[in-house]
Amino acid sequence: PTVSPFLEPGLHTKPRSLAILQLSRDNLLPIYLQEASGEHDGYAEGAVVNTRYGSFPHSTMLNVPWGSQIRASKVDTGSRGRKRKRGPKDDASRDDAEENQPETTDNNNATEATRVKQAVADDSGFIHVLPPTPELWTQSLPHRTQVVYTPDYSYILHRIRARPGSTIIEAGAGSGSFTHASVRAVYNGYPSSAEDRKGKVFSFEYHEERYHKMKKELTDHNLDGLVHLTHRDVYNGGFLIDGTSPEADAIFLDLPKPWEALPHLSRRKPQTEAKEGEEWVSPLNPKRAVHMCTFSPCIEQVTRTVSAMRRLGWVDIDMVEIANRKLHTIRDRVGLHYQTDRGVNVSPHDVEEALDRLAEIEERVREQAARPRNGEDGAEDADTVMKNGDVAVKKDDDKASAAEQPPYQTPWVDGRLITKGEPEIKTHTSYLVFAVLPREWTEEDEAAAFAKYPCGK
């Protein structure tokens, strides 16, 4: 099977692959990269992405290393709308963009060429082309429902012990945010057969339209060999796949009434399902303790879920709420300061000026160091002076010369580290209830264990 770009994106962008365009820090756009002659079936219109930062033909984003910065094209499809006012930061990117332009639009196909209007390079910017990851997908996916966000699902996957080769049951699938994160967590290569349960996610969704959209998305992302999506109401239908067990090691329920699904997640036939004479199959891995998380927005749901868990033999039950707060850490200012001849502290305006000033300052320091002093006939070693940072206090007997010379200051100034927190914790998302169902231990298990590790022999 073709490997999903979420699991193994390779080093370069490829035609027909999903890519996430980062337009600005928190503005992400998923698109399917089209070859010039390809069908236009992505999220973005046509084979040119028009943004407020400029126009980006797909051809300029193909076969480049993931993470590349893509400069806006000179061409515009005309659908970009009004021009953006030029800001102070635009100059650099505009100049570079002109240099990096494809010389003509010949690499676009005829249809596209007719769509492309005149060159409008005067306000072009840049974007970055990123490989799809569950985190970026969560930020950019088309929302069909509330979704589970990265701070929650990273903790959940850790607590339910999702690891390569694990089998996960998930319900409901919703918008597929958790699905993408969980399939990456359990991926251990593509299974050799459909019957192979290891390293797969068994996902359930009862809303028909959501089911179909999700199904298409999984195919588009080459994940359908690893995520088995079933259209079903799990409260009534349970979690078996054509009557067989997915043998789940871990479970995640994002449902309005998790307690109605719990009886199906037992090791033995629950009394509520007593259909006499029928063989009952557990969807759980019989050889392992199973770890579960349920995700509920209100405490009444938590209480009912916990109560059902206790009655069904789940242990180690606890509840967690993730209170995520972003910390933004920046260095206040890293730059050069120098004193003008009048002793005023200024900082240079651009890199070239800074480098010139730095060279000038270093030269002055070297000259100072080379100049003979009172009581000395030799020059100071310039490096020593630089390291000590202040010629004037280098030696006690240098006081006289120090008075004559301006004190030397290191020309570079590291700004302070500033950490700003978000003013408030974002609104409550959900309560996470965790529980474990121990594995059962039969007489046969004991006999097998004894045969393998005989005690007292």
The SS3 assignment for 366 reads helix
Q: Residues 140 to 169: which contact ligand SAM by CB under 6 A? A: 145-148
Using the minimum distance from each CB to ligand SAM, give the nearer residue, 205 or 398. 205
By the 8 A CB rule, do 87 and 163 touch? no
Q: Using the rule CB under 6 A, is 233 a contact of ligand SAM?
A: yes
The reply to whether 135 sits near ligand SAM by the rule CB under 6 A is: no
Which residues in the 193-222 window bind ligand SAM by CB under 6 A?
204-207, 210
Rg of the chain in Å (alpha carbons) = 32
| Helices (runs of H) and strands (runs of E) counted in the chain | 13, 19
**Residue 51 is a binding residue for ligand SAM (CB under 6 A):** no
Q: Does the protein bind ligand SAM through residue 227 (CB under 6 A)?
A: no
54 binds ligand SAM (CB under 6 A): no
- Spatial CA neighbour of 140 closest among 25, 40, 55: 25
| Closest separation in Å from C-beta 211 to ligand SAM | 8
User: Which of 174-182, 271-279, 328-336, 356-364 is the region at the interface with ligand SAM (rule: CB under 6 A)?
Assistant: 174-182
Inter-residue contact 127 to 53 (CB < 8 Å): yes
Q: How far apart are CA 45 and CA 47, in angstroms?
A: 7
Asked if 235 is part of the footprint of ligand SAM (rule: CB under 6 A), the reply reads: yes
Least distance CB 240 / ligand SAM (angstroms): 14
State the pairing for strand pair 250-253/168-171: parallel
Q: Are 17 and 233 in contact (CB under 8 A)?
A: no
Question: To which residue do tokens 């580290």 refer?
Answer: 417
Of 5, 125, 172, 283, the one binding ligand SAM by CB under 6 A: 172
Closer to ligand SAM by CB, 180 or 373: give it: 180
Whole-number Å distance between alpha carbons of 89 and 66: 25
Per CB under 6 A, 305 contacts ligand SAM? no
Scanning residues 397 to 436, which ones bind ligand SAM (CB under 6 A)? none
For ligand SAM, how many residues bind (rule: CB under 6 A)?
22
Q: Please say which residue, 172 or 411, places its beta carbon nearer to ligand SAM.
A: 172
- Residues whose CB falls within 8 Å of the CB of residue 253, separated by 6 or more in sequence, listed in order: 170, 171, 261, 292, 293, 294, 295
* Residue number with CB closer to ligand SAM (13 or 230): 230
Joined together, the tokens standing for residue 406 give 């301006």
* Binding positions for ligand SAM, rule: CB under 6 A: 145-148, 171-172, 174-178, 204-207, 210, 233-235, 254-256
